[in-house]
């Protein structure tokens, strides 16, 4: 038995769908120890928006380490942190007219979410947070309480409190006018819904099955929050840093959240890094009230600055992302047309796309066939029924064509094995 099966906990997941041992990676390709290369259509679940081992970012990191610069510093001031704050302000916040303060909550997405939830509760003095059907916000208890997936919720082992789920956009197939239920309950003193501290939302639900909220729905939500004095938290952990086109996924809707969660691709290099952004007047933390050892990892500051300077000084990346997204959509639409018996829906924005299959087994088998052909893809959705595509934003159009052809072959192989 290999060391993974013998020693690594049964909780391991992705390695089961991709049963090989990876050694090196560059751009959109990984290589395993047998010398086989794989095209990466998953990008660390949205962590590698600029690809693996980007040479320019790697050089910045190597230079930083070689000069004995600070690596660990708790939340002390460092030159690397100062540079990050300055460049994040100049390249991300100011051009978008955003006046946020920046909290370093710990390195993972769930750390950003926990900080957001705590802050919203502290600021408002209220307990309830409204989330949405099929939401995913992380695996710590606070984040799980606003996550939809029942299997993951059960894993908490304790009651998950102070969260209320409302229907996400299109959850009811358009049968209920948007926010009618939510607003009626807010206005009704007999509804049983305590006035929430905050609403937490993903503009595109990544883990929940690539469910795309319309700009109108997001604007309606922001308006409802404003009218009722409820804070709006956008969890941009997976869809931020350009995944849907613009740096923040909420830009298209023209809304300004009160709090924003960012992580995954923020370091640009796959190094753990997260921030929680908050409206300036919401910063009611006492010093050290929300603490942690790994808040602000200096090597991640360095690569994050590199990623911002290399990719976010103009609109080039955003435009390319939207263009490549259309290439994916077109290919997926063709596959869906050809295999209508297997594919139920195609949806996405920017460079995040989902192909919903008619049953969960089909999605898993398509991903297995893709792996056999050298393409890494994962499933998502409440029953893992959606084949999910998140290639690095830097994937070339030729690589996209190559991957989409492999995907088409994989769907055909599954269909041939079991005729619908
Ligand atoms: N929020 C969203 C929207 C996510 O997609 C994820 C992870 O996939 C998280 C939060 C949690 O991030 P992490 O796994 O880094 O804790």
Structure token pair of residue 246: 């613009």
Question: β-pairing, 129-132 with 198-201?
Answer: parallel
The answer to whether residues 324 and 209 belong to one domain is: no
**Co-location of 39 and 107 in the same domain:** no
Above 80 in pLDDT, residue 221? Answer: yes
Residues 201 and 287 in one domain: yes
Residues 50 and 63 in one domain: no
Cβ distance 235 to 137 under 8 Å? yes
Q: Strand 352-357 relative to strand 129-132: parallel, antiparallel, unpaired? A: unpaired
Taking the centre of ligand 1 as the mean of its atom positions, its distance from the CA of residue 360, in whole angstroms, is: 22
Ligand 1 geometric centre to CA of 240 (Å): 11
For the stretch 381-406, pLDDT in tens is: 999 999 999 999 999 999 999 999 99
pLDDT band at 178 (very low <50, low <70, confident <90, very high): confident
Whether 174 and 244 map to the same domain: the answer is yes
Shared-domain flag, residues 301 and 391: no
* Structural tokens at position 367: 């991903």
pLDDT, tens digit, 9 for 90 and up, residues 295-330? 989 999 999 999 999 999 999 999 999 999 999 999
Q: How many domains does the chain have?
A: 2
Statement to judge: residues 247 and 115 lie in one domain: yes
Query: How do residues 363-378 score in pLDDT, each as one tens digit?
Result: 999 999 999 999 999 9
- Pair 349, 244: CB distance under 8 Å: yes
Of 417 and 120, more confident: 120
Query: Encoding tokens for residue 15?
Result: 């390695």
CB 359 within 8 A of CB 385: yes
Are 49 and 92 in the same domain?
Answer: no
Per-residue three-class SS string for 11-69: CCCHHHHCCCCEEEEEECEEEECCCCEEEECCHHHHCCCCCECCHHHHHHHHHHHHCCC
Report pTM. Answer: 0.97
- Segment 154-161 shows an average pLDDT of 96
Same domain, 179 and 207: yes
- Please, what's the b/e burial string for 233-247 (b: 16 or more CB within 10 A of its CB; e: otherwise)? bbbbbbbbbbbbbbb
* CB proximity list for 197: less than 8 A, separation 6 or greater: 120, 121, 123, 124, 125, 126, 127, 128, 129, 230, 231
Q: Do 139 and 238 fall within a single domain?
A: yes
Q: How much is the CA Rg of the chain, to the nearest whole Å?
A: 21
Mean pLDDT of the chain: 96
Phi first, then psi: give them for residue 26, nearest 5 degrees.
Answer: -155, 130
CB-neighbour burial class of residue 280 (10 A; exposed 0-12, middle 13-18, buried 19+): exposed
Domain range for 102 is: 58-311
Give me the CATH number covering residue 399.
Answer: 3.90.1150.10
pLDDT at position 415 is: 83
Where a domain ends, among 278, 311, 344? 311
**Statement: residue 173 has pLDDT above 80:** no
162: CA distance to ligand 1 center in Å?
20
Mutate to test the pocket of ligand 1, among 14, 152, 237 (most ligand atoms within 8 A of CB): 237
Confidence of residue 419 (pLDDT cuts 50, 70, 90): low
Q: Predicted confidence band at 418 (pLDDT cuts at 50, 70, 90)?
A: low
Give the count of beta carbons closer than 10 Å to the beta carbon of residue 357. Answer: 26
Distance from the CA of 175 to the center of ligand 1, in angstroms?
Answer: 30
Q: Tell me the C-alpha distance between 345 and 209, whole Å.
A: 11
User: Which of 285, 311, 337 is a domain's end point?
Assistant: 311
Q: Atom 5 of ligand 1 has which residue's CA nearest to it?
A: 238
If one counts every other C-beta atom within 10 angstroms of the C-beta of residue 160, the result is 16
Res 92 pLDDT > 60: yes
């Amino acid at each position: 038995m290999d060391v993974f099966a013998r020693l690594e906990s049964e909780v391991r997941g992705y390695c089961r769908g991709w049963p090989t041992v990876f050694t090196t990676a560059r751009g959109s390709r990984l290589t395993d120890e047998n010398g086989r290369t794989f095209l990466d259509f998953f990008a660390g679940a949205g962590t590698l928006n600029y690809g693996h081992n980007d040479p320019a970012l790697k050089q910045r990191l190597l230079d930083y380490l070689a000069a004995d610069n600070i690596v660990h510093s708790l939340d002390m001031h460092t030159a690397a942190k100062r540079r990050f704050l300055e460049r994040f302000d100049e390249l991300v916040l100011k051009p978008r007219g955003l006046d946020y303060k920046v909290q370093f909550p710990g390195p993972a997405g769930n750390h950003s979410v926990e900080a957001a939830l705590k802050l919203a509760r502290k600021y408002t003095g209220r307990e309830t947070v409204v989330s949405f059907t099929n939401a995913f916000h992380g695996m710590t208890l606070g984040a799980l309480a606003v996550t939809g997936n029942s299997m993951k919720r059960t894993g908490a082992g304790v009651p998950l409190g102070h969260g209320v789920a409302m229907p996400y956009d299109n959850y009811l197939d358009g049968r209920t006018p948007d926010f009618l239920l939510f607003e009626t309950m807010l206005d009704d003193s007999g509804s049983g819904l305590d006035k929430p501290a905050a609403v937490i939302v993903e503009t595109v639900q990544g883990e929940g099955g690539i469910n795309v909220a319309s700009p109108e729905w997001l604007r309606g939500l922001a308006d409802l929050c404003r009218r009722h004095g409820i804070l709006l938290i956008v969890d941009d952990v997976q869809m931020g840093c350009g995944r849907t086109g613009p740096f923040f996924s909420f830009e298209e809707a023209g809304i300004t959240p009160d709090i924003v969660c960012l992580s995954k691709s923020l370091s640009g290099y796959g190094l753990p890094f997260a921030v929680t952004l908050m409206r300036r007047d919401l910063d009611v933390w006492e010093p050290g009230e929300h603490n942690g050892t790994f808040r602000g990892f200096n090597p991640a500051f360095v690569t994050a600055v590199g990623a911002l300077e290399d990719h976010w000084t103009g609109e080039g990346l955003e435009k390319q992302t939207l263009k490549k997204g259309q290439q994916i959509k077109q290919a997926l639409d063709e596959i869906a047309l050809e295999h209508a018996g297997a594919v139920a829906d195609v949806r996405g924005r920017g460079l995040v796309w989902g192909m919903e299959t008619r049953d969960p087994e089909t999605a898993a088998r398509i991903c297995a066939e893709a792996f056999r052909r050298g393409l890494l893809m994962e499933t998502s959705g409440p029953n893992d029924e959606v084949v999910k595509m998140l290639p690095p934003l830097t994937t070339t159009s030729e690589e996209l064509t190559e991957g989409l052809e492999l995907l088409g072959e994989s769907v055909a192989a599954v269909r041939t094995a079991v005729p619908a």
